[in-house]
Amino acid sequence: MISGASRPSVSKNLAHRFPLRWFARVTAVKPSFHPDELAEERWEREFDSWLLPFLHEFGYPSQQKWAPIYMRGLLGPGDRKSIEPMAARVCPGETQQLHHFLSTSRWDTAGHERVLLEKAGALVGGKDAHLVIDDTAIPK
């Protein structure tokens, strides 16, 4: 798993934002653990697995460290997604490091775009599939 400075509190908050209470509904046996704990563990495992190929595209270990923390800040609870409020939630006391990751750290986006294209292709149906986007329902 990818480590972060304040990961337990972030994980707990994310589990409440993305509740996965399916286990209690689809099993005949009552689980011996709290459904939110399962959701937290599942979300973390899936997030780490999904993010791993993107992390390999970063050139520096510091970028590989701060990218998941930043992503958790964006995806996690909280209305303000600017640096200071987000850093207070996901990495208290390390606002400067998160700011440095976003403002001065440079990376080539081609590798990340390739990984994203591969992931999107797998979701759509593979190499021979076509994705049609109808934007007529989107208000202008």
pLDDT single digits (tens) 20-61: 333 333 333 444 555 666 777 788 888 888 999 999 999 899
CB 20 within 8 A of CB 43: yes
pLDDT value for 119:
87
Ordered by start, the domain boundaries in the chain are 7-137
- DSSP letters along 87-131, please? HHHHSTT-HHHHHHHHHT----SHHHHHHHHHHHHHHHTSTT---
Q: What global pTM score does this model have?
A: 0.61
Q: What is the mean pLDDT of residues 70-83?
A: 88
